Amino acid sequence: MTQTEFLNIVMPFKDKVFRLAKRLLVSREEAEDATQEIILKLWKNQEKMSDYKNIEAFSMTMTKNFCLDKLKSKQAQNLKIVHSNYEDHNVSLQKEVEVNDSLDWVSKIMADLPEQQKMVVQLRDIEQYDYNEIAKMLDMNQTAVRVALSRARKTIREKLTNTHNYGIK
């Protein structure tokens, strides 16, 4: 496999790998490092890539496992937390503050979710994978994926509603 062929296979889902790593590791720098590690592992094992039906799903599973291992290691103690929020200059300052506040609250709420629910929300709502692909990536039953997603969404919705209705909790 040439470098060009490899890049044609890997580049379309590189950003998804990064977003999943960022969701799990929080730090942009750590997510970039994780993305590079995954691509490097894929490059080193390129002769085995033809054995996999869906290389993208395989790389997402690799990313999940790599990030969870990193969080479990002692290096997790040294992770630098950096948040970057989307900036839209066409919106009023008040609306921008409200949107950023809501995004911060959703991030905090998601951080408190069980790991499985956090992964399912990331893969379904952010990465737009279908239930079947998520079930394969996480070694879960498709029904369990739907239940975990439903519970996670309900928790996020309830906590965000309580925060907006009653203030900081």
Which pairs with CB-CB distance under 8 Å and at least 24 residues apart come from 14-17?
Answer: 14/39, 16/56, 16/60, 16/127, 17/59, 17/60, 17/63
Convert the pLDDT of each residue in 80-129 to its tens digit. Answer: 444 445 554 566 777 778 878 888 888 888 889 999 999 999 899 888 89
Q: Is the pLDDT of residue 169 over 80?
A: no
Alpha carbon 120 to its chain's center: 9
Per-residue pLDDT at 91: 63
The residue-averaged pLDDT of 65-77 equals 76
Q: Is the pLDDT of residue 74 over 80?
A: no
